[in-house]
Structure 1
Amino acid sequence: MEKLKTYQYIVSFQSCSSSSCPFSSASNMIDVYQAVADIIRTTLGPRSMMKMLIDAGGGIVVTSDGNAILREIDLAHPAAKSMIELSRTQDEEVGDGTTSVIILAGEMLHVAEALIDKSCHPTVICRAYNKALEDAIAVLDKIAMPIDAKDRGTMLGIVKSCIGTKVTSQFGDLIADLAIDATTTVDIKNYIKIEKVPGGQLEDSRVLKGVMINKDVVVPGKMKRKIVNPRVILLDCSLEYKKGENQTNAELLKEEDWSLLLRMEEEYIEELCMQILKFKPDLVITEKGLSDLALHFLSKHGVSAIRRLRKSDNNRIAKACGAVIVNRPYELRESDVGTGTGLFEVKKIGDEFFAFIVECKDPKACTVLLRGASKDLLNEVERNLQDAMSVARNIIKNPKLVPGGGATELTVSATLKQKSSSVQGIEKWPYEAAAIAFEAIPRTLAQNCGVNVIRTMTALQGKHANGENAWIGINGNTGDITDMKECKIWDAYNVKAQTFKTAIEAACMLLRIDDVVSGGSIKRQAPGAGKAPSKLKVETEANADSEQILPD
């Protein structure tokens, strides 16, 4: 059996003399950017390919998500590292379009390279690019279509369209339902948690109006595992006898002193428990420990308890049931008790127990329970679900749509080409180059679905040049030229606007870099020991290839 080969992407550079290349660093960075953009170019669209990534621990990640791929790739070049930041920014801001932003930024730099070779100054190119960005956003505003974010049918169609490019597009209805249920329940990203439990079918996944945690009650035999309308108390302290922070010595002179000491500890814990039991709780949850004696007092009064919970989970339970996390039992008040939960239940899923605090009246936190055949499938579904939830959140914030399938980029490109004739001076050429760069997205879609790229792009450019219909684009599944409204292929306005802004601003930043300075740490010496450390050397074109740039 032939061994599996793993390929490592290596980008090498040749330094060029200042006479032939006045902005050599910019030229090198463009090459790096192009190399990385080419790696993830094939992951765009519904017919995209996937990447198998082997991480440092030997684990395998199979994904077509641009941000996930760039996060796992080991890159040494500073320009390549800035691309990872670019993708991460896009993911944090709008949650989608991470592959598009890299492809578009790479194309912006690629078309700028020809201008740099003709000694066009990077500042002129950046100025023209910024002007092109303003005009592109104006075109987006013009072709954007407002929608009703409260209409669930419309929202489902939009989210399905946006996740149609993902691997889990076959489960589009399910993931769109989960995403809309989660975002309409809670609108803050931090309070939606995705719990992945291997086993069962993907159709068993659901959104819980409450919180699910991987915990069981502390004493299963004595404590109830199902409580309807429980009164919940959340603690941030331990119900144990306080131990000394350092070594503590106690000198006992009489035989009775030992029993007195034990009784004092028991009374202290009993007093803590009585402070809690005074409010008649049904469920006590703490982030710290619970002593055996405290468990005895709680179970004696029919109170279930869960201990050593994560801080983030405790915060989510507080948001779901309306409780307030208390640091000391003495400070408990009636208003701190959570009464917004409809059901507390512990269930066994697979080999593990999970506690469900669900059916909350007005939950400010929710949990998405994902079931599936394997961990790899669940991880990919989670990534796709995060994108779907981000798209739903963007549409709720700004209910506007723009055409997908490269139609937006082609409309922007055609408009910029027409406007370029009115641009005065040397800025006209980089402005035209920016217009051409926008065609990278539909061209990549055509390449990935295996149609004749030149013929398809020529037909699309002809339709948009005549100004026939701004919604004419390419169907990523079949490669046909169709109306995006009929196919229901849409993009969220926020995602597209953020993609354009991030890509052009990043391209302008990299074009402004004219030199790379290599720095290193200098070993510290004791005062007067040996000679003073030599000065830091700056990498120049003459010694760029030599290994001895810095002193050891």
Structure 2
Amino acid sequence: MQSPVLVLNANTKRETGREAQLNNIMAGKTVASVIRTCLGPRSMLKMILDPMGGIVLTNDGNAILREIDVVHPAAKSIIELSRAQDENVGDGTTSVVILAGEMLAVAEPFLEKQIHPTVIIRGFFRALEDTTEFLDKFAAKLDPNSRADMLKVVRSCLTTKFVSRWGDLMCNLALDAVQTVSLEVNGRKEVDIKRYAKVEKIPGGEIEESCVLKGVMLNKDVTHAKMRRRIENPRIILLDCPLEYKKGESQTTFEITNDTDFTALLKQEEEYVQKICNDIIKFKPDLVITEKGVSDLAQHFFVKHNITAIRRVRMTDNNRIARVSGATIVNRTEEIQESDVGTECGLFEIKKLGDEYFTFLTECKSPKACTILLRGASKDVLNEIERNLADAMGVARNIVTDPRLVPGGGAIEMAVSQALVEKSKSIEGVEQYPYRAVASALEVIPRTLIQNCGASVIRLLTDLRAKHASAAQENRNWGIDGNKGVLVDMNTLGIWEPYAVKAQTFKTAIESACILLRVDDVVSGISKKKESQHGPQGGPPQGMEE
């Protein structure tokens, strides 16, 4: 079954000037409308049939847009925004697309009034500079060493997700994982959750059984039945080379003339395997892990010396084992040195979970990598938990690297919007109008939150605007309670968002809207390509049906 196709413009031959700009705006608005209902704690889920016939049930903006197949080039560019947002900060993928769609929507009336796109773009960029300035002013500092405060922020990110029922558990998992993999490099915190915080999903068991292992877990078993399956304080050697005789290339030919030649060949192979095994055995390791294969002969030598071997481990997993055990990955057995042997791992054991065997390397002295073990009823549930957990880890990482917060629930958008309206009064000329339009576009976030929880949009939005228009500083924290559909002080409710996520959202949305407004010509080479394939009319060759 094909993925859903969003056809936004059938006539793709050529669009110029105003037509191209209006079509791009329409494309942006259409993509934004697809995921508008996915914002906030009362958001709806989307059911997506993927090309392989599987079903994805999610309200994660990036996961939804990734599965949608789009024809219009501007729509493709808007979809890329959610991917860029996810790569950079890990959260806010829905907000950025909704905001970008609204930025394009507020630019439409100016184009219809024949205002030049350059003037609109200038107003938008000026508003972006001031937006960043106001965000800096409104941001509050957080103590990254206070676990309770950190958990509050991660919790507020998860309230809109499927896993909010197990919020405390998921928050602790995300925070533990991020704190495990964070490193101090040149005075800066560096957190690489993509490479060093691996999520392992095992169907079965309760969600409450999920945990963060301060070490590495692999879906591997030992290569030989007599090898040890539990070792305390193992000496570990990591290899990136095969422990077997090198196979001959395709050009290799052997000429065997008498019965001793074949024996000589086997002897040569045995001597080579024994040599590479002796290179390892002299360092007295307990555990040898390689990314390549281990021959039966090598296993025999290892069993004789009470060494456990694990083969064909992924390179990414090997890198994580190197981080937790203090070992160095070696490319040739002759190059192994004592300093390459890892001794920081406390326990190696193999356990059976469900129908499969898993290797655990845990109780490490100072693990800088971890594995998050997720249990759950089905694969669909586990996939959604993994997506939500990735967002939570992204938020935790942002706070660790930049511990500043802004109020959530649409409060910061409304506060910045009011500040821009005030500032716009001092701007002269036509630029003032697109500048003010950015202020009204920011209101789309609180408006969407109100719509999604079924409250009265006009009444609540007017009340919120009035709150923020007053000079009182504490009113800046007032936003929408997405569950009950009432105005509430976000400080009291404890809904905060990382500064990095909001700054990235505003920057990406406004800049992408400006880029699309600068497009005045869309030329497609697709029709030419089809013509050359199907004949001059663009239809299929005679005798064939489409």
CA distance in 1, matches of 2:4, 2:269: 64
CA distance in 2, matches of 1:508, 1:433: 13
1:49-85 superposed Cα distances (whole Å, 9 cap, x missing partner): 0000001111110000000100000101101110121
Residue 261 of structure 1: how far off its partner (Å):
2.4
Q: Which amino acid aligns with 2:509?
A: A
- Partner SS state of residue 23, structure 1: helix
Quote the residue 2:337 is aligned against.
333
CA distance in 1, matches of 2:163, 2:307: 43
Does 1:287 find its partner at 2:291? yes
Quote the residue 1:505 is aligned against.
511
Quote the residue 1:308 is aligned against.
312
- Partner SS state of residue 243, structure 1: coil
Quote the residue 1:211 is aligned against.
216
Candidates 437, 441, 447, aligned match of 2:441? 437
Residue 259 of structure 1: how far off its partner (Å):
2.2
Quote the residue 1:237 is aligned against.
241
Residue 493 of structure 1: how far off its partner (Å):
0.4
- Partner SS state of residue 165, structure 1: coil
Does 1:519 find its partner at 2:534? no
Candidates 181, 192, 196, aligned match of 2:197? 192
Does 1:389 find its partner at 2:393? yes
Q: Which amino acid aligns with 2:198?
A: K
Is the contact made by 2:290 and 2:310 (CA closer than 8 Å) also made in structure 1? yes
CA distance in 1, matches of 2:11, 2:322: 59
Residue 373 of structure 1: how far off its partner (Å):
0.5
Q: Which amino acid aligns with 1:515?
A: D
Is the contact made by 1:13 and 1:28 (CA closer than 8 Å) also made in structure 2? no
Is the contact made by 2:9 and 2:71 (CA closer than 8 Å) also made in structure 1? no
CA distance in 2, matches of 1:96, 1:495: 7
Quote the residue 1:463 is aligned against.
467
Residue 363 of structure 1: how far off its partner (Å):
1.4
Candidates 99, 107, 111, aligned match of 2:102? 107
What is the percentage of aligned positions where both structures have the same residue?
Answer: 59
Unaligned runs of 5+ in 1: 1-5, 524-532, 535-545
CA distance in 2, matches of 1:14, 1:348: 58
1:171-220 superposed Cα distances (whole Å, 9 cap, x missing partner): 11011000110000002121111000101011101111111000000112
1:349-408 superposed Cα distances (whole Å, 9 cap, x missing partner): 000000001111111211111000011111111011111011011011111110000000
Does 1:31 find its partner at 2:26? yes
Is the contact made by 1:22 and 1:119 (CA closer than 8 Å) also made in structure 2? no
CA distance in 1, matches of 2:526, 2:50: 27
CA distance in 1, matches of 2:415, 2:94: 20
Is the contact made by 1:326 and 1:332 (CA closer than 8 Å) also made in structure 2? yes
- Partner SS state of residue 393, structure 2: helix
Q: Which amino acid aligns with 1:477?
A: N
CA distance in 1, matches of 2:265, 2:11: 78
TM-score of the superposed pair, with normalisation by structure 2: 0.92
- Partner SS state of residue 357, structure 1: strand
Quote the residue 2:483 is aligned against.
477
Residues 312-461 of structure 1 aligned to structure 2 (within 5 Å):
312-461=316-465
Quote the residue 2:35 is aligned against.
40
Candidates 177, 180, 183, aligned match of 1:182? 177
Quote the residue 2:78 is aligned against.
83
Quote the residue 1:539 is aligned against.
none
Q: Which amino acid aligns with 2:233?
A: N
Candidates 211, 223, 226, aligned match of 2:227? 223
Residue 25 of structure 1: how far off its partner (Å):
0.5
RMSD (Å), alpha carbons: 2.2
Residues 261-300 of structure 1 aligned to structure 2 (within 5 Å):
261-300=265-304
Candidates 68, 73, 80, aligned match of 1:73? 68
Residue 547 of structure 1: how far off its partner (Å):
7.3
TM-score of the superposed pair, with normalisation by structure 1: 0.91
Quote the residue 2:498 is aligned against.
492
CA distance in 2, matches of 1:254, 1:385: 65
Residue 14 of structure 1: how far off its partner (Å):
8.0
Is the contact made by 1:45 and 1:165 (CA closer than 8 Å) also made in structure 2? yes
1:446–1:9 Cα change, 3 Å: same
Residue 141 of structure 1: how far off its partner (Å):
1.0
Quote the residue 1:543 is aligned against.
none
Residue 252 of structure 1: how far off its partner (Å):
3.3
